[in-house]
């Protein structure tokens, strides 16, 4: 019998992507969808591409509405899920796509977010390699509360963690510049996200170490075995609706080589269904990941600069959010990890 599912924040981009993927999942049945300002409307009015779910009505987001389901996915603004989930049964699997439960440090939360700190949940990045060679996947198995990583964090972490774990790079000298589609900011009616402002232009934002994903990236690098972490991370808004292309560089450790780095990536991702290493001298495009739960990674060693350069492409709404949430739910429930998720993108 399919497991009953509720999706909170179903009117947004992340919520809509969760529903698109869940609609084809063989083990889940979408029973309830909720929203805030759109409550009371048919789902199809705000997500007109979800034709198979036209019979669903958006309900108020509350503990009463969400309780009683086998699985609850939260796609709410940051700071909105902590108090809500405290009222849900411990038997319910709850997957939070927001930031409320990602950070293990209350001090980091206070420095980058507002409001009450609700504590860390099991981190939902299965492919994250730990310093001892294990992976985050083993901690997700059987978990009942899972926090999905930030999309930028996923791109940078997957691009560098294996090299950190192998001791091939110095994590105290990392620079990352990301080209990011505006859907990562949600359905915010702000001037900087208007088509007239974005088309034909690229612009940096959250410059100077102020982006909220900074502490989460550092947290992941420490999990991968780094003792000292120093990263300069700059995202750039570019005119594509979805996708991330992350260029991440780090100083090579003494004795590191292209061969040893390739071996580290093969060891980490050789058997992963959703993280794929590109052939030598080939680099990914965001277009090849659209709609797919894949992260594609290419790398080069800049001998003259003594640095590793990795290029990671992913769809911020799939592997960066909704796909990661469903992948983690599959693992937690003991289902086929790939259920409901694909590796084929949409082209052109």
Structure confidence by residue, pLDDT tens digits, 279-305: 999 999 999 999 999 999 999 999 999
Q: State the pLDDT confidence band at 173, using cuts at 50, 70 and 90.
A: very high
Q: Write out the two tokens for 341.
A: 């998720």
Res 275 pLDDT > 90:
yes
Q: Write out the two tokens for 313.
A: 């492409």
Q: Where are the beta strands (DSSP E) in 278-333?
A: 295-302, 307-314
Res 178 pLDDT > 80:
yes
pLDDT of residue 183: 86
b/e string for 188-218 if b means 16 or more Cβ within 10 A? eeeeeeeeeebeeeeeeebeeeebbbbbbbb
Q: Is the peptide bond before 348 cis (omega within 30 degrees of 0)?
A: yes
CA distances from 232 to 136, 178, 184, 213, 246 (A): 25, 11, 20, 11, 13
Distance CA 254, CA 252 (A): 7
Using DSSP bridges, classify how beta strands 203-204 and 231-237 pair: parallel, antiparallel or unpaired: antiparallel
HEC string for 33-80: EEECCCCCCEHHHHCCCCHHHCCCEEEECCHHHHCCCCEEEECCCCCC
Q: Where are the beta strands (DSSP E) in the chain?
A: 3-8, 28-35, 58-60, 71-74, 93-96, 122-123, 145-147, 169-180, 203-204, 231-237, 244-252, 275-277, 295-302, 307-314
Domains and CATH numbers, the chain: 3-120 (3.40.50.720), 152-316 (3.30.360.10)
Structure confidence by residue, pLDDT tens digits, 215-232: 999 999 999 999 999 999
Inter-axis angle of helices 323-333 and 13-22, to 10 degrees? 50
Q: By the 8 A CB rule, do 144 and 92 touch? A: yes
Q: By the 8 A CB rule, do 171 and 226 touch? A: yes
Q: Across-strand partners of 174?
A: 231, 250
Structure confidence by residue, pLDDT tens digits, 196-206: 888 889 999 99
Distance of CA 111 to the CA centre of its chain: 21
Please return the burial class of 64, using the count of CB atoms within 10 Å of its CB with bins 0-12, 13-18 and 19+: exposed
**Catalytic residue IDs:** 151
Structure confidence by residue, pLDDT tens digits, 105-157: 999 999 999 889 999 999 999 999 999 999 999 999 999 999 999 999 999 99
CA distances from 181 to 17, 193, 239, 316 (A): 15, 10, 7, 8
Instruction: Collapse the DSSP code of 324 into the 3-class scheme (helix H, G, I; strand E, B; otherwise coil) and give the result.
Output: helix
Distance CA 145, CA 168 (A): 33
Distance CA 240, CA 200 (A): 10
Residue 103: closest CA among 72, 126, 79: 79
Residue 209: closest CA among 235, 183, 228, 227: 235
**Using the 8-state DSSP alphabet, how is residue 144 labeled?**
S
pLDDT of residue 188: 72
Q: Comparing 348 with 178, which gets the higher pLDDT? A: 178
Q: What is the mean pLDDT of residues 264-275?
A: 98
Using DSSP bridges, classify how beta strands 244-252 and 307-314 pair: parallel, antiparallel or unpaired: antiparallel
Q: By the 8 A CB rule, do 74 and 8 touch? A: yes
Q: By the 8 A CB rule, do 178 and 247 touch? A: yes
């Amino acid at each position: 019998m399919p497991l009953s599912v509720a999706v909170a924040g179903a009117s947004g981009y992340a919520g809509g992507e969760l529903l698109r993927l869940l609609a084809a999942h063989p083990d889940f049945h979408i029973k309830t969808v909720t929203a805030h300002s759109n409550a009371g409307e048919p789902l199809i009015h705000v997500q007109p591409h979800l034709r198979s779910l036209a019979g669903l009505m958006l309900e108020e987001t509350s503990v009463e509405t969400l309780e009683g389901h086998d699985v609850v996915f939260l796609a709410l603004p940051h700071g909105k899920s902590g108090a809500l989930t405290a009222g849900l049964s411990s038997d319910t699997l709850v997957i939070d796509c927001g930031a409320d439960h990602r950070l293990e440090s209350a001090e980091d939360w206070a420095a980058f977010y507002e409001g009450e700190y609700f504590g860390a949940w099991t981190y939902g990045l299965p492919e994250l390699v730990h310093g001892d060679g294990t992976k985050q996947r083993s901690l997700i198995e059987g978990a009942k509360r899972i926090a999905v990583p930030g999309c930028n964090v996923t791109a940078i972490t997957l691009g560098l963690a294996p090299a950190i774990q192998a001791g091939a790079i110095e994590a105290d000298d990392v620079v990352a510049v990301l080209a990011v589609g505006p859907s990562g900011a949600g359905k915010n009616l702000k001037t900087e996200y208007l088509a007239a402002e974005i088309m034909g232009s690229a612009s940096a934002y959250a410059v100077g170490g102020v982006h909220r994903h900074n502490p989460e990236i550092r947290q992941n690098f420490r999990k991968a075995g780094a003792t000292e972490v120093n990263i300069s991370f700059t995202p750039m808004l570019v005119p594509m609706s979805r996708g991330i292309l992350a260029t991440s560089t780090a100083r090579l450790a003494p004795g590191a080589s292209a061969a040893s780095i390739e071996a580290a990536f093969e060891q980490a991702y050789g058997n992963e269904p959703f993280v794929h290493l590109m052939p030598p001298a080939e680099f990914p495009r965001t277009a090849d990941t659209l709609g797919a739960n894949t992260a594609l990674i290419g790398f080069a060693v800049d001998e003259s600069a003594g640095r590793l350069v990795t290029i990671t492409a992913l769809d911020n709404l799939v592997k960066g959010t909704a796909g990661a949430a469903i992948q983690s739910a599959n693992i937690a429930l003991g289902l086929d990890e790939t259920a409901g998720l694909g590796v084929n993108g949409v082209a052109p």
